[in-house]
Amino acid sequence: MIWSLSWKNIWRNKKRSFIVICAVTLGVVAGIFTAGLMKGWVDQRVEAAIYTEVSHIKIRNQDYLLNEEIKYTIPDQEKVVTELKNNPDVVAFTSRIKLTAMAASSRGNTALMLVGIDRDDEKKVSNVFEKMVPNAGSFFETKMENPVVISDRTAEALRIKSYELSTEALDSLAQSAIPKSIVSKLEPVAGKKFLTEKLFKKGLSSVLSKSEINKYGGSIRTAATHYRLRSKIVFTFTGTDGEMCYQTLKVCGIYKTSNAMFDQMNAYVLKNDITPVAGFTSGEAHEIGIILKKEVNARHFRDEMKGKLPELNVMCWQDLAPDASMSSEYMNMYYYIIMGFILFALAFGIINTMLMAILERTKELGMLMAIGMNKKKVFRMIMLETIFLTMVGAIAGMILGYFVILITSHTGLDFSSVGEGFEAMGWSSMVYPEIELQFFIGVTILVILTGILSSIIPARKALSLKPIEAIRTE
């Protein structure tokens, strides 16, 4: 009887109940979407950390961590390779040579890490080859002598990247979603070459308004970007004998990841092209990157390898990318903190609504208590009314939130307008929200707790009524 009576009571004033239900629905949708957005960002960061930057496991010389000198290669590498080949938890691995170098072109210079790789093995461990800029070369898929793959950031520093609105670029813009009126405004700067992005933006600002640049600037910049492939870059580094070495390499491709710092610091060269120049013998390497099966715990594997290879340094991705690890481990807590704050704010509205309901039903509650309804049943009735009110809104919110996440997980959310800031921290500007179904269980529990806590003040107000006085209330 109490359950049935409580359900009917919340629909007595449909308008007031509907307003509270809508507030709870919107709050739950906002909480679920925010949680999904954060999870999408964190999962993308973790994936980038593992499959682009550091791998699941890295094995290096103990002394290499203290001082990244060229001489600290992995001793007895054959033993390590044999161990990894026979380990069923290992999917793939690759060895790399790393040289701290100065890169110089005819127009600029920058410091970076020149990474010597085996192309085929590297593709099994790292997805940098999937991050190649469209129409900007390939990941060593060339017959060019002494090729090098550099990042978009490095290309800009070396002035290998420029901006020019050619006739072809204007035609492609006209065929895209950009209005013809905008394309026609670009004609005064067409054919002009801008060596830096800053100069290009300055050129755009002379023909377009600020709002037009904010809306169409990204597409225009992409169409105008031009890379001088096959450009020569002279790399200067210290060889194994301590003498300065020089190697001229030609740009065969440009890559771009979501981590600007990683891009700025790494360029790739074939190991066979750099080994004889630096003075290495065949098979030497500074690090071995390992990819594990998805079900394997990286920390457990690290501890196992430390026992087998005590003379080497073994680190997992949680050690190498602590920012991604911390975000991943504490993300569930962040979800519930956000949802808790939203429900805490909504609780005040729920309490106010229930107090109004108690005030309107003073005479009715007095009669119920006069005919024998004890305080425990009155409290339970008020509590159930509050829980029903919040649960209706929460269920609607969870359904809507799920569909919002489902849609945006396919379309993605583009934050390219502030992409530079995100990429500077290693976060992608294109986010695909996602949510785990178990999160909805947690939301349901939080909603029920909110309903119970929100019912305490209204229930105490109802219990404080004196039946005789309440019956006399008009």
At 457, the pLDDT band (50, 70, 90 cuts) reads confident
* Domain assignment present for 310: no
At 466, the pLDDT band (50, 70, 90 cuts) reads low
Residues 187 and 144 in one domain: no
| pLDDT tens digit sequence for 96-149 | 999 999 999 888 899 999 999 999 999 999 999 999 998 889 999 888 899 999
* Domain assignment present for 312: no
Q: What pLDDT, on a 0 to 100 scale, did the predictor assign at position 155?
A: 92
* 3-class state of residue 239 by DSSP: coil
Residues 358 and 443 in one domain: yes
The residue out of 180, 202, 227 marking a domain boundary is: 227
Domain limits for position 119: 57-160+228-295
Residues 218 and 246 in one domain: no
77's tokens? 């590498």
Residues 167 and 110 in one domain: no
Residues 336 and 233 in one domain: no
Which of 23-32, 176-185, 255-264 bottoms out in mean pLDDT, i.e. has the lowest?
176-185
- pTM for the model: 0.80
| pLDDT tens digit sequence for 175-215 | 877 888 888 888 888 888 888 888 888 888 888 888 888 88
Residues 125 and 213 in one domain: no
Tell me the β-bridge partners of 118.
Answer: none
Which strands form 161-164's sheet, in the order they lie side by side? 193-194, 161-164, 225-227
Residues 65 and 23 in one domain: no
Beta strands in 86-199 (DSSP E): 90-104, 109-117, 132-137, 147-151, 161-164, 193-194
Domain total in the chain: 3
Burial of 68 (0-12, 13-18, 19+ CB in 10 A): middle
The residue out of 295, 310, 335 marking a domain boundary is: 295
239's tokens? 């060889």
Residues 365 and 431 in one domain: yes
* Domain assignment present for 334: yes
Interacting residues of 418 by C-beta distance below 8 A, sequence separation 6+: 429
Stronger pLDDT, 137 or 69, i.e. the higher one: 137
Q: What pLDDT, on a 0 to 100 scale, did the predictor assign at position 88?
A: 93
Asked if pLDDT for residue 85 goes beyond 60, the answer is yes
Residues 67 and 136 in one domain: yes
* Domain assignment present for 132: yes
Q: DSSP assignment of 419-456, as one string?
A: HHHHHHTT--SEE-----HHHHHHHHHHHHHHHHHHHH
| pLDDT tens digit sequence for 9-22 | 677 777 888 888 88
DSSP state letter for 50 = I
The residue out of 208, 227, 246 marking a domain boundary is: 227
* Domain assignment present for 261: yes
Asked if pLDDT for residue 58 goes beyond 90, the answer is yes
Stronger pLDDT, 90 or 198, i.e. the higher one: 90
Residues 272 and 341 in one domain: no
Average pLDDT over residues 73-95: 91
Asked if pLDDT for residue 293 goes beyond 90, the answer is yes
Stronger pLDDT, 96 or 415, i.e. the higher one: 96
| pLDDT tens digit sequence for 224-255 | 888 999 999 999 998 888 889 999 999 999 99
Distances (CA, A) of 157 to 103, 127, 196, 228, 457: 10, 23, 9, 13, 64
Average pLDDT over residues 32-38: 88
Residues 173 and 154 in one domain: no
Tell me how long the chain is.
474
Residues 74 and 38 in one domain: no
Average pLDDT over residues 137-166: 90
Average pLDDT over residues 61-72: 83
Average pLDDT, the chain: 85
